[in-house]
Amino acid sequence: MARYGMVIDLDICIGCNACTMACKSEHATPGGIFWGKVLEKEVGKFPAARRIFLPVLCNHCKNPICMEVCPTGATYQREDGIVLIDYDLCLGCRSCMEACPYGPRAFYGGDGAYYENGRTPFEEAKQHFPEGIVMKCNFCVDRVDQGLNPACVQTCPTECRIFGDLDDPQSEVSRIAAEKKARPLLPEKGLEPSVFYIGG
Amino acid sequence: MAARIDEFLIDVRPQREWGWLVISYLFLGGAGAGLFLVSLYLEHLWAGVLGLLVLLVGTVLLLLDLGRPERFWRAFFRPQTSWISRGCFFITLLFVLGVIELALQWPGLELPAWLSEGTTLRTSLRVAGGGAAVLVMIYTGFVLAPSPAIPFWNSAFFPIIFFAYSLLAGIDILILTSPMLPGPSLDLMLLERNQNYLVILCLLLVLSHVSVMSSSAVAARESIRLLTRGRWASLFLGGVIGAGLIVPLLLALPVVWEAQVQTVFALTFILALLRLFGDYLFRFLVMRVGLYDPLL
Amino acid sequence: MEAVLGREDVWLHSVCETCFAFCGILAHRQDGVVVKIEGDPNCPASAGHLCARGQAALISLYDPSRIQRPLLRTNPEKGIGVDPKWREISWEQALDLLTEKLQKVRAEDPRKLVIATFDHYALGVMIRPAWAVAFGTPNSDWVGYYCGNYLHASMYLTNGSFHSDFDLDYCNYAILLGNQQGFMGGLNANVAARKMAEARRRGMRLVVVDPVGTNAAAKADEWVPIRPGTDGAFILSLIHILLNELSCYDQEFLKRRTNASYLVQEDGGYLREGPKGKPLVWDRRSDGAIPFDESNADPALEGSFVAGGKKCRPAFQALKDHVKNYAPEKVAPITTIPAQTIRRIAKEFGEAAKIGSTIVIDGKVLPYRPVAVNIYRGAGAHKHGTHTALAVQTLNMVVGAFYVPGGHRGINLLGPSGRWAPGMTDEELITPPAAIGRAARYYDFDETPPEDLGHREVFPISTNRSPIYEINLVNPKQSGLPYTPEVLIVCRRNLMMCNANPEESAKMLKQVPFVVNFSTHIDEVAEMSDLVLPDKHFLERFDLFPNRYTHTMSPHTGYFYWGIRQPVVEKPMGEAREWIDVLFDVAERMGFLEDVYKLLNMTLELKDEYKLDPVARYALEDIYDRWAKSLFGPEKGLAWFKNNGYHKVPRSVEEKYPSPFIRPRFPIYFENYLRAKRSVEKVANHLDRKLDVSDYQVLPEWKPCAAYDDASPPYDLFVVNFKLPFHSLSFTTQNPWLSDLAEHNPYAYKILINAETAKRKGVKDGDAIWVESAAGKVKGKAKLTECIHPEVVGIAGVFGSWAKGKPVAKGKGVHFNTLLPINMDRIDPISTGLDSCIRVKVSRAA
Ligand SMILES: Nc1nc2c(c(=O)[nH]1)N[C@H]1C(S)=C(S)[C@@H](COP(=O)(O)OP(=O)(O)OC[C@H]3O[C@@H](n4cnc5c(=O)[nH]c(N)nc54)[C@H](O)[C@@H]3O)O[C@H]1N2
Ligand SMILES: Nc1nc2c(c(=O)[nH]1)N[C@H]1C(S)=C(S)[C@@H](COP(=O)(O)OP(=O)(O)OC[C@H]3O[C@@H](n4cnc5c(=O)[nH]c(N)nc54)[C@H](O)[C@@H]3O)O[C@H]1N2
Ligand code: SF4
Ligand code: SF4
Ligand code: SF4
Ligand code: SF4
Ligand code: SF4
Ligand SMILES: [Mo]
């Protein structure tokens, strides 16, 4: 069985947020909610100062604590490691949000439309989230099931995001992860993320 | 210092998922269960009733906090892993056992012999009820404690602190309501003395937690900074520690030594209010200073 | 998901128009609704990737604030914030009105019509060369300003190309001087970002010289914060070090490929063989002056000589002497860059140039100069900016990194496949290929009185003269023109937000009796217009080959490529119409459509069998079909492009690296400026104007901007503006996804101020502050940062919209341009670019 994962090259990422917008477009996420985004911070003092970009998304952890704490089973993990939320089961208790150190999850209170003066045909066609639930990056599971890359990977202009099967040592993602000593965020939390970073 | 919550910054990030509804539940749920526990010990029917009522109010608030309250029943489906799920069972258990217990205590009720006071069944029921109350008092600590996400919460102290605080609050509610409570009158002196031990216990636990956290992960240190020097310092030091614990402890001295009924009565009343205020504030601050570690 | 029977599910080829990179897209349409846009993997520019703006363009297609029907102003009073009291009218009424107004103007004097657009396609293909010419107005090139003006002039002059770029396939050391090429800003943003990433993976060293720690600076190996408006001094200092300290320059290139060896006299002019003869060089073999093009000459680059009794020296020697004024010790206090940093960068740059080395590509041996300095808007957008840009070109040229692998190059000097080549002067100096156009003429000048609002004859080196349009429109009486503009057509130009201070722009728009705005929104310009017509969104539009290979097609792709923009929805929103179509309709009503067709036959170079019959009538698509077939044969008409997306032709080595293959030389010495100066003075005299012509100098110089005179307290800081990778000008500000992103971004909607500076001023992070210049003031939230020069505050993008018709954009972010004054003192006298170097003071808002 595959275990899907991603490697992101922080040296190459330019913080352009194409990934952020591709995700929004792919999933028609509601206003103010971003499943994937790019965080940043400054390091150093002028003139030796620098900005750092960190694209983040759900890590699809091997030990997803979000699933562990979920009281309903709404959060579940597929055999290929993708962690998903069943909106029909979700209570909106947000304990998964409290438990996950990475902050990919968002509570959706309703009214996701982007324009005050009406829902667009695009939103009518694509934005069907029940209110009062929690949502997050789903690794573009529908695309992945069709053999496509996730939307953020597909669009990334610098090609600094690589997606693939971590269980297959021959896959590009595994090779790069091994070669470049890829590391996850906050490994000490013990959740074993499937999203890794190199460079930076 | 912590980032504006909605800015895409790599920084210590405050949790804002749980707000006053959850805070109030933590307070009321714990206090209600604590009061129920004490009622068993005191064999005070009305104290027990009150305890369950307080718990009920807390639980309603918790339900209101859900995005989909009408689906609450789904929360019973993952007791294998989820403390929230377990909590649901504990609360339910406490309600069921509590109502049975109180029903059995109902004055003038003719009970069959196998159900009368002193039988193993009654005792077991009572012990089970007490156990459920204890679980309700501490499980919220377990909801917070195992989370690696929020280092300030990630501590074995929390179940114990919550237990101590819940008991403290339960008794304080009893003290406050005692004049209006039907049933046998209560020995306020005795309660007040016990409260002092509990206060000392809370103080020790809270201070130990703070000291352990001061040398912990980035976000935990920031939590401590917020509590001791930062934005929340006056509420924590002045409110939780000062007004909620130390002041009652000092003011309690005359109560413990002198024992003039009127003074005792007036004072315990004030002390209970102060301690309850401290307890609520404590739960509020615990939630407010719940911070996530920066991702890099 | 199960596909429901009969459900529509198609992917359509089209082209993004959220910036001028024109990336190929595939639009996914289900049941009539576009549900996703992706990069077209077959498009050489996008290669399947889209930037944030391209991704987000989808939602703007469905913006409910879009104008649905023509609107007529009923309130005669115009002004910022004044309600136009719109009345909806039918297209028929609108066309009647428009025709009536245009008819009157055309009968009186067609020059009274002015067109302002930055719709590249319409501007370059349909309107300026055809419709406007047929109408009879020269006032049709009012495009974006303080854009690349400074740069385009320097490019045309030194290498005949329009846009600046550099070869990321081979470059090993690049300096970005005030631009974000390769970081989803700048030109050909998408392909440049991809290539920049590859180059950085390869280990290319990147130095970003910018007052702001931009996204580019964030990823640079070295960020060099510089005081705004001082880049010229920095670059000239690098040249000085290379020439006078390190003796590091490409002699071969300078001798053979430039005019470096041409002898110049003390008055600056060439030493010629006779009064109108060829420029001479000093032949070291014969130790005498001979014509530059004598074969077997061994021209000297250095020294001073006497020839024909006249003292002279090679142009290169003149440059060498000239840059001695720019010792790093002298330049350091001007730029705030330490002298040792300037020296080190010069040394690194010189070494990385690998002068003398060659590389074999496709079997051809080429010079290999893997270094480049790139300049675009930021460093150039200042008074004297053309000088700075020329200094940059000169620096690239002295090391030979010009149109060779690894070096600087422009867009498409040659091509495609021999279809065009640069022109050449008598002195063998390069001029733009005819295909690229001759927006400016650099070697022979018209000295007739100007006819157009841009005063072309007064600014012959400039490629577009937008600020001059503005100045002349505000004061038509003083323009010296024999007419007063009466109708202004605006399409895809935000004259209110992107120009200087909006109060000034408002004055200008109030002057014009009838303003027509084709727009998608009642934006800031529409609010000032008399007639607003709903234009199509680019996803509703049909444009054949929107990517103009002369101007915007990146050589990085390795191809020439032709794609189409086609509507990806069945019908446009409301009654939106394509403005080209509307103007063609008007032309028909007015009876000059025949002339438009005749012109198109010429400008599109239609083959005989596809020529438009002037008396026939064609839908735009028919015209496009003919054009496509004329170019690529009968089988490659529109239908082919609709189905296949792209026609691609690989670039030959010559088309990628033309320098070794072309005859014309690249000037490093601008002798023609002496002539330009005389002409300009003469024309100014016609107009009874006093003009500052001191910038017409034979060699680039650094001169302080006007802002340096405003240094007196309290105007103690500079303000600069920079682009964000996820917004385009004011164009994207009404996009709610991008706006949402900007609101979460730590910088986008803020005022950036150095943390130390802020501390000194008692400003804390998040405080509301005022930034005030002599021209205006703006308020915003302070963002304390280490990533900005301490003397500088930074404001991103073109934010701070005020139009009610853009509810998403309204009131968000800070409007930089409010701070910019406009007058002849604040305009680059050569390119006419507006000076964005401006002093401000910062105070806390109560
Ligand atoms: N994402 C994005 N890409 C775009 C556009 C867009 O709006 N958004 N617009 C397109 C257009 S129209 C153009 S013209 C190009 C422009 O492309 P660029 O020239 O790359 O555009 P800017 O980001 O404006 O670059 C200006 C930079 O110069 C800096 N700067 C300002 N003043 C000075 C100075 O005096 N000296 C130096 N050294 N630096 C200075 C600014 O901080 C900023 O980082 O981009 C095109 N591409
Ligand atoms: N502060 C600041 N000012 C700048 C710059 C900057 O970076 N910062 N850059 C400068 C540069 S480089 C340039 S090139 C100029 C550009 O100046 P402009 O070309 O004026 O720039 P835009 O902001 O793109 O204006 C486009 C206008 O078209 C409207 N519009 C949007 N979509 C459509 C459509 O589909 N059809 C029609 N008809 N209209 C539409 C928008 O509402 C907007 O008003 O600005 C210059 N000014
Ligand atoms: S699209 Fe790629 S380069 Fe751009 S921010 Fe996302 S990960 Fe970074
Ligand atoms: S990152 Fe968080 S939400 Fe995603 S799988 Fe891991 S624990 Fe769950
Ligand atoms: S919010 Fe939904 S997914 Fe998260 S823990 Fe609660 S029920 Fe599970
Ligand atoms: S994998 Fe898909 S859902 Fe996750 S961040 Fe990327 S685009 Fe969004
Ligand atoms: S670079 Fe320009 S053309 Fe390409 S996707 Fe982005 S906005 Fe569109
Ligand atoms: Mo521009």
- As for ligand 3, residues whose beta carbon falls within 6 Å of it are A 13-19, 38, 55, 156, 158, 160-161
Burial (CB < 10 A; 0-12, 13-18, 19+), residue C7, is exposed
Judge whether C651 and C559 are in contact, CB under 8 Å: yes
A100 lines ligand 4 (CB under 6 A): yes
A94 lines ligand 5 (CB under 6 A): yes
Q: Are C820 and C773 in contact (CB under 8 A)?
A: yes
Asked whether the beta carbons of C828 and C149 are under 8 A apart, the reply is yes
State the pLDDT at residue C2. 46
Mean pLDDT over the full length of chain B: 92
CATH of A4-198, one of 3.30.565.10, 3.90.78.10, 3.40.50.150, 3.30.70.20: 3.30.70.20
Phi, psi of C49 (to 5 degrees): -105, 145
* Amino acid found at C8: E
Coil, strand, or helix at residue A8? strand
Q: Enter the DSSP assignment of C539.
A: G
Q: Specify the pLDDT at position C438.
A: 66
d(CA B33, CA C726): 54
Tell whether B71 lies on the interface with C, counting CB pairs under 8 A: no
Q: pLDDT > 90: what percent of chain C? A: 91
Maximum distance among all Cα pairs of chain C, rounded to whole angstroms:
92
Residues of C in contact with B6 (CB under 8 A): 743-744
Instruction: Give the Å distance between the CA of B83 and the centre of ligand 5.
Output: 12
B148 touches chain A (CB under 8 A): yes
User: pLDDT at residue C206 above 60?
Assistant: yes
Cα-flanking dihedrals φ and ψ of residue B254, to 5°?
Answer: -60, -35
Runs of H (alpha helix) within C303-443: 315-322, 328-335, 339-352, 377-380, 385-398
Instruction: From chain B, pick out residues whose CB is under 8 angstroms from the CB of C746.
Output: 7-9
Residues of C in contact with B7 (CB under 8 A): 744-746
> How far is it, in rounded angstroms, from Cα C357 to Cα C370?
10
Whether residue C35 and residue A122 make contact (CB cut-off 8 A), yes or no, is yes
- Within 8 A by CB and 6+ apart from A130, the residues are A87, A88, B68
Residues C362-400 pLDDT 10s: 999 999 999 999 999 999 999 999 999 999 999 999 999
Q: Using DSSP, how many helices (H) and how many strands (E) does chain B show?
A: 10, 2
To the nearest whole angstrom, how far is the Cα of B182 from the nearest Cα of chain C? 56
- A102-133 residue pLDDT tens: 999 999 999 899 999 889 999 999 999 999 99
Q: Residue C506 corresponds to which amino acid?
A: A
Atom of ligand 2 nearest to the CA of C795: 1
Subunits close to A (at least 3 CB pairs below 8 A) = B, C
Residue C439 binned pLDDT confidence (cut-offs 50, 70, 90): low
The protein residue whose alpha carbon is closest to atom 5 in ligand 4 is A60
**Is the pLDDT at C145 greater than 80, yes or no?**
no
Question: Which residues from chain B sit within 8 angstroms of residue C766, using beta carbons?
Answer: 4
SS (H, E, C) C670-697: CCHHHHHHHHHHHHHHHCCCCCCCCCCC
Look at residue B1 in the predicted model and tell me its pLDDT: 33
The answer, as to whether pTM is greater than 0.90, is: yes
Q: Characterize C94-106 residue by residue with b for buried, 16 or more Cβ atoms within 10 angstroms of its Cβ, and e for exposed.
A: bbebbbebbeebb
Q: Report chain A's mean pLDDT, rounded to a whole number.
A: 97
CA-to-CA dists, residue A156 to A152, C46, C192, C218, C729, angstroms:
6, 10, 13, 18, 22
What is the average pLDDT across A70-97? Answer: 97
- Averaged over C162-179, what is the pLDDT? 96
Cα–Cα distance, C204 to C167 (Å, whole number): 11
Q: Which of B81, B77, B76, B104 is closest to B92 using CA atoms? A: B76
How much of chain B exceeds pLDDT 70, in percent?
95
pLDDT of residue C5: 63
Nearest to C303 by CA among C260, C334, C344, C332: C260
The residues near C622 (Cβ < 8 Å, ≥ 6 apart) are: none
Contact criterion met (CB below 8 Å) for B199 and B67 = no
Taking the alpha carbons at both ends of chain C, their separation in whole angstroms is 57
Query: Residue C545: which region, alpha, beta or left (left: phi > 0; alpha: psi -120 to 50)?
Result: left
Strand C838-844 with C371-375, pairing: unpaired
Q: Show contacts of C185-188: CB within 8 Å, 24+ apart.
A: C185/C214, C185/C215, C185/C216, C185/C722, C185/C723, C185/C724, C185/C725, C186/C376, C186/C377, C186/C723, C187/C20, C187/C21, C187/C163, C187/C376, C187/C411, C187/C552, C187/C554, C188/C20, C188/C21, C188/C45, C188/C552, C188/C553, C188/C554, C188/C556
pLDDT reported for residue B251: 87
d(CA A108, CA C370): 52
Candidates B1, B6, B10: best to mutate against A (most CBs of A within 10 A) is B10
Q: What is the mean pLDDT of residues C39-53?
A: 97
Cα–Cα distance measured from residue B238 to residue B244, given in angstroms and rounded to the nearest whole number: 8
Structural tokens at position C542: 């049909």
Chain C: list its partners (3+ Cβ pairs within 8 Å). A, B
| Among B62, B143, B296, the residue to mutate for chain A (most A Cβ within 10 A) | B296
Element counts in chain A: helices (H) and strands (E): 7, 9
* Ligand 7: lining residues by beta carbon, under 6 Å: C 16, 18-19, 21-23, 46, 50-51, 53-54, 189-190
CB contacts under 8 A, C 760-799 vs B, are: 766
Atom of ligand 3 nearest to the CA of A15: 5
Would you give the distance in Å from CA C583 to the centre of its chain?
Answer: 26
Task: Write down the domain spans for chain A.
Answer: 4-198
pLDDT at C1 over 50: no
Quick one: average pLDDT of C349-358? Answer: 98
Ligand nearest, relative to CA of residue A140: 6
Q: Is B1 on the interface with A (CB under 8 A)?
A: no
- Contact between C565 and C546 under an 8 Å Cβ cutoff? The reply is yes
Return the closest-CA partner of residue C132 out of C700, C620, C580: C580
- Whole-number Å distance between alpha carbons of C187 and C172: 20
C503 half-sphere exposure, CB direction, 13 A CA radius: 7
Q: Which residue has the tokens 């008794």?
A: B171
Given a contact cutoff of 8 angstroms between Cβ atoms, the answer to whether C355 and C250 are in contact is yes
Q: What is the ipTM of this complex?
A: 0.97
Would an 8 Å CB–CB cutoff place B4 in contact with chain C? yes
Quick check: C718 pLDDT over 90?
yes
* Partners of C534 in the β-ladder: C519
- Name all contacts of B284-287 with Cβ < 8 Å and 24+ positions apart: B284/B20, B284/B23, B285/B227, B285/B232, B285/B235, B285/B236, B285/B240, B286/B26, B286/B144, B286/B152, B286/B153, B287/B15, B287/B18, B287/B19, B287/B22, B287/B23, B287/B26
Closest CA to B104 of B90, B84, B118: B118
First to last CA, chain A: 31
Instruction: Give the Cβ contact number of residue C213 at 10 Å.
Output: 28
Q: Does C744 touch chain B (CB under 8 A)?
A: yes
**Closest residue (by CA) to atom 7 of ligand 3?**
A13
Where residue C481 falls (left for φ over 0; alpha for ψ -120 to 50; beta otherwise) is beta
**Does the distance separating the beta carbons of C745 and B7 come in below 8 Å?**
yes
pLDDT band at B186 (very low <50, low <70, confident <90, very high): confident
- Which domains, ranges and CATH numbers included, belong to chain C? 71-139+446-535+574-632 (3.40.50.740), 150-410 (3.40.228.10), 706-844 (2.40.40.20)
Query: Is pLDDT larger for residue C339 or for residue C7?
Result: C339
CA-CA distance, C698 to C682, in Å (whole number)?
19
Atom of ligand 2 nearest to the CA of C147: 12
- Give me the mean pLDDT over the B260-275 stretch: 82
For chain C, the helix, strand and coil percentages under 3-state DSSP, each to the nearest 5: 35, 20, 45
Contact C34, C10 (CB under 8 A): no
- Phi and psi (nearest 5°) for C839? -90, 145
Q: What is the pLDDT confidence band of residue A198, given thresholds at 50, 70 and 90?
A: very high
pLDDT in tens, C632-675: 999 999 999 999 999 999 999 999 999 999 999 999 999 999 99
Q: What is the CA radius of gyration of chain A?
A: 17
- Determine the 3-state secondary structure of A47 from DSSP: coil
Distance CA B87, CA C370 (A): 67
Q: Which residues of B touch C785 (CB under 8 A)?
A: none
- What pLDDT shows up at residue C51? 98
* CA nearest to C640, candidates C505, C574, C544, C524: C544
Q: C743 CA to middle of ligand 3, Å?
A: 18
- Report the C-alpha gap between C419 and C416 in whole angstroms: 5
Candidates C409, C237, C417, C264; CA nearest to C327 is C237
The number of the ligand 2 atom at minimal distance from the alpha carbon of C524 is 44
Per residue in C337-348, pLDDT (tens digit) is 999 999 999 999
- What are the structure tokens assigned to A120, written together? 């667009």
Find the mean pLDDT for residues A81-106: 97
Each residue's pLDDT tens digit, C531-570:
999 999 999 999 999 998 888 898 999 999 999 999 999 9
Which residues share a beta bridge with C768? C781
Q: Which domains does chain B have, with CATH numbers?
A: 2-292 (1.20.1630.10)
The pLDDT tens digits for B52-85 are 999 999 999 999 999 999 999 999 999 999 999 9
